[in-house]
Amino acid sequence: MFDPLLLELTTRIQAKGGESVFVKEEFKKCVSKRGDAFISSWLWKVPGFRRWRVTRLDAGQKLQVLNSVAYPEFDNDQPLMGIDLLWFGSSSKLVAILDFQPLIQEEAYFARYFQGLKLLQSDYPEFNNKEIMRSFDPNKYFSPWILFCRGGLAEATKSLPLAFSAFLNCYLDLQKNALQGQSHISDSQVKRLQIDYDIYSAERDPAHGLFSSYFGKTWSDHFLNEFLFPGSSLCN
Ligand code: BLA
């Protein structure tokens, strides 16, 4: 379902000068014990970003996922880019979440980085669902202009590709501002906040149960703490 979007994301990353980084065999590709699902991951070093990861989960009709997070360099306090797209084929349900994940929740920070995302939210009203979050706190590492859609086939095939491209463009535009010296938070504080993002996300990510059911608890613990949110294992 999301392969054209994965291709678009990869193409954009490469056009930005992204270079593929080594991923441990265990995380690069893993097939479920029953052989009914496989998960693949890629890691990129893109100029301006210290880490950009991409994961694709293919569990056939049951579930398709595209997930990605971009972590800017520590000298740039711009939000992280977070993408989580899920397609439940048997029930034709889409859950799509795209956000500029803010390091802090302050008006001046929002004014610096969120003008573009604000406009996108008004351009794509189907991504403006007033969703109640169950696992996460909407006021921690999520923005007031999060693009969040619970929809069906029409949203997945028509609106999502448009919103996805516009979202990527808009996020990549942020870097131009960063280059103009807009970063206000100190490098050490950005580092602390990005690590805290990993710790918080590893604790809350609703994917853990799902991964465990396909790939076993041990693999899932490693994948979450070492690949998805490596900052979370620094304090262990
Ligand atoms: C929700 N994400 C979910 C859910 C699942 C996943 C199963 C619950 C679906 C539902 O509410 O119906 C699955 N998350 C995954 C998978 C991966 C993953 C398979 O990370 C594989 C790598 N989640 C992110 C990122 C964002 C994010 C980067 O990983 C930021 C945009 C957001 N996912 C996010 C949110 C929800 C969600 C906000 C809703 C959770 C809630 O209701 O609190």
Predicted confidence (pLDDT) per residue in 128-170, tens digit = 877 778 888 888 999 999 999 999 999 999 999 999 999 999 9
Look over the chain and give the mean of its residue pLDDT values, rounded to a whole number: 93
* 113 burial type by CB count under 10 A (0-12 exposed, 13-18 middle, 19+ buried): buried
Residue type, 31: V
Work out the average pLDDT over 187-201. 96
How many angstroms does the Cα of residue 152 sit away from the middle of ligand 1? 17
Q: Within 6 Å (CB) of ligand 1, which residues are found?
A: 55, 57, 65, 67, 69, 82-84, 86, 95, 97, 99, 133-136, 205-207, 210, 228
Q: Nearest CA to 84 among 174, 16, 159, 150?
A: 150
For the chain, the distance separating the N- and C-terminal CA atoms, rounded to the nearest angstrom, is: 37
Work out the average pLDDT over 76-105. 97
Hey, what are 15's tokens? 């056009």
- The predicted pLDDT at position 133 comes to 81
Domain 3-234 top-level CATH class:
alpha beta
> Is this structure's pTM higher than 0.85?
yes
Distance CA 115, CA 124 (A): 15
Atom of ligand 1 nearest to the CA of 99: 31
- The predicted pLDDT at position 181 comes to 66
Q: How many CB atoms lie within 10 A of CB 15?
A: 10
Work out the average pLDDT over 89-94. 96
Q: How confident is the model at residue 11 (pLDDT cuts 50, 70, 90)?
A: very high
Q: Which backbone phi and psi does 204 adopt, to 5 degrees? A: -100, -20
Q: How confident is the model at residue 178 (pLDDT cuts 50, 70, 90)?
A: low
Residue 182 has pLDDT above 80, yes or no: no
